[in-house]
Structure 1
Amino acid sequence: MSSDTLTISDRIQQKLDDLTRAERQLAHSILENYPISGLGPLTELALDANVSGPTVARMVQKLGFKGYAEFQAELREELRAKVKGPIAKHDTWADSAPSGHILNTFTDAVIDNIRHTLGQIDPHAFDAACGLVGDPAHHLYIVGGRVTHTLAEYLFLHMQVIRPNITHVQSTSNAWPHYLLDVQAGDVFVIFDVRRYENNTLKLAEMAHAQGAKIILFTDQWRSPVHQLANISFSSRIVVPSAWDSAATTLLLTETMISAVQNLRWDSTKGRMEELEAMFDQTKLFRKFT
């Protein structure tokens, strides 16, 4: 993505690791209600983020703006761009619902999340992550939290078919240290951790990292503390008009990874799938319409 097409949100994501603690606090506050959060007075933004006015001024300059006024002008330009093309926007709506219906407002938010997330992902890093996940020479551990365990289970279920040598670890269980007993250098951990970040997940990642494991992290736009330990990290935008965050973009990345790893290992995966289907036929778990 070229610099002239970067949104302010994109710039913040790129600079997060270079910001001070107070500046990161401010950045997270801006992203929380982006872009509305940056349209008020500088003093109001500082108050909302619980930082000083000079902190706002410094971070705005780090983002490449001469001052807060230029920063706000760019935000307003982004808003104008978002409301252009009403015909194109209408095509994404549910035809039977008005434009302000939750079916459309929620879908618009998810589409926007996907667009911003994919714009931040390095395809080479994604390919490298898929290569690590698909390598049966190293044990694969998949970890989820209180909410993200559903994504972890989904990935685990498919990876069980695709490759051997795999373990599902639930960090919410008090038995998760048991799984670390057999971790070897080079083993791979896929960890899902979104806000509110879980202490168990961070501790698990720290211990796995200390044993030489490689970590692939799926997180949100504010990034889990596990980010500091991860070899490869994917940040998904998760904010939607709901009391709960959205898993749609993270699920998209997860399903894309499943597809990529399946293709990488198709010669062996095909045989595993055929063997599994034969077992299902014996168990008669599923109805067959033939």
Structure 2
Amino acid sequence: MSTSEVEEPHAVGVAALIRRRLGECSPAERRVARALLAAYPAAGLATVAALAERAEVSGPTVLRFLARLGFGGYPEFQQALRDELAERETSPLSAYRAAERTGSALAGALPRAAATLPEAVAGTLAELPQGELDAAVRLLADQQLRVTAAGGRFSDLLAHYLVLHLMQVRGGSRLLPPTPVERTDMLVDVGRRDLFALFDFRRYEEPTLALAREVTSRGARVVLFTDRWLSPVAGLAEVVLPSRVESPSAYDSFVPALALVETVVAALIDRLGPAAGARLKAMEAAQQTFGGT
């Protein structure tokens, strides 16, 4: 196995790598991939025999699939998953303590940001599969679908930012409200004509997963914005858009995710073409009529 093959799973994350290689796989290998993603990462921490049984394939098929991903064997694959679990559980406090131990904070915030953020944005966009971006834009451009966006404690800001753009260029978009009565009213009629844009980053939030389970059980579709370790929502999502989170501080950065949202909006405007321009013109006229800002 070459050096690049060894490094790739750790560079992009195991789950993201599985999704990227899915199109190269045989039908049996795809069953392994789907079994892993449906119960990630727990399914991969079981034995080869248990994973093969879950996927309804043979043990050698599991090993061939892992070799396709660049792993030298099942122990190496499981170690990568354990390493990911440790990274997924990183908190701002643990990151702060690590910076104290290494002295990395001594370099100064400005040099750290200049070194970290541009690379994180560039890496996010370079690693994003074109097919996933195209699929997300195709769904968002479908005027038959009503779009609802939701995020967590911090990522709700990204959800709101996306919705503000969607209101401008395609309409039929809304942010999931925080209060129980409004939220219930919005969700009671969810069905096959609904599309949810969900934002969930490490230290993943259980309410977001619960929401994804409920709406997909009713036929709604999900586009997930997440990090390279992939939220548990990835197993339910039709499209997964991962971004890096490297930061000059103890907090994960949303700068790469914001760049990804803006890339999606740019691609959506391209796809909508004159319809986006007509919508923007109508919005400006309405703004003048109703005195909006």
Partner of 1:29: none
**Structure ranking higher in helix proportion:** 2
For residue 8 of structure 1, report the CA deviation from its aligned partner.
5.0
Q: Do the aligned partners of residues 279 and 12 (structure 1) sit closer, same or farther apart at CA in structure 2, a change above 3 Å counting?
A: closer
Partner of 1:10: 11
SS in 2 for 1:182: coil
Q: Any unmatched runs of 5+ in structure 2?
A: 19-32, 46-65, 80-105
The residue correspondences of 1:237-276 to structure 2 (distance < 5 A) are 237-276=244-283
Contact 1:10 1:120 in 2 (8 A): no
Asked whether 1:278 is paired with 2:285, we answer yes
Aligned equivalents of 1:201, 1:135: Cα separation in 2: 24
Q: Do the aligned partners of residues 8 and 271 (structure 1) sit closer, same or farther apart at CA in structure 2, a change above 3 Å counting?
A: closer
Q: Equivalent of 1:126, from 130, 133, 145? A: 133
Higher-Rg member (1/2):
1
Partner of 2:42: 21
- TM-score, normalization by structure 2: 0.65
For residue 212 of structure 1, report the CA deviation from its aligned partner.
0.7
Which residue identity does 1:4 align to in structure 2?
S
SS in 2 for 1:254: helix
Q: Equivalent of 1:174, from 160, 176, 180? A: 180
For residue 269 of structure 1, report the CA deviation from its aligned partner.
1.9
SS in 2 for 1:184: coil
Partner of 1:202: 209
Aligned equivalents of 1:230, 1:261: Cα separation in 2: 19
Partner of 1:221: 228
For residue 157 of structure 1, report the CA deviation from its aligned partner.
0.6
Which residue identity does 2:225 align to in structure 1?
F
Aligned equivalents of 1:11, 1:139: Cα separation in 2: 32
Deviations 1:72-130 (A, max 9, x none): xxxxxxxxxxxxxxxxxxxxxxxxxxx93321212322223223323432101211110
Which residue identity does 1:174 align to in structure 2?
P
Contact 1:11 1:63 in 2 (8 A): no
Q: Any unmatched runs of 5+ in structure 1?
A: 25-58, 72-98
Deviations 1:3-56 (A, max 9, x none): 8375452364325948863977xxxxxxxxxxxxxxxxxxxxxxxxxxxxxxxx
Contact 2:197 2:223 in 1 (8 A): yes
Aligned equivalents of 1:206, 1:252: Cα separation in 2: 27
Partner of 1:152: 159
SS in 2 for 1:191: strand
- TM-score, normalization by structure 1: 0.66
For residue 150 of structure 1, report the CA deviation from its aligned partner.
0.9
Partner of 1:96: none
Number of residue equivalences: 220
For residue 282 of structure 1, report the CA deviation from its aligned partner.
4.0
Q: Do the aligned partners of residues 268 and 3 (structure 1) sit closer, same or farther apart at CA in structure 2, a change above 3 Å counting?
A: farther
Aligned equivalents of 1:218, 1:239: Cα separation in 2: 16
Which residue identity does 1:113 align to in structure 2?
A
Query: CA RMSD, aligned part only?
Result: 3.2
Partner of 1:45: none
Partner of 1:113: 120
Q: Do the aligned partners of residues 185 and 167 (structure 1) sit closer, same or farther apart at CA in structure 2, a change above 3 Å counting?
A: same
Aligned equivalents of 2:204, 2:12: Cα separation in 1: 23
SS in 2 for 1:203: helix
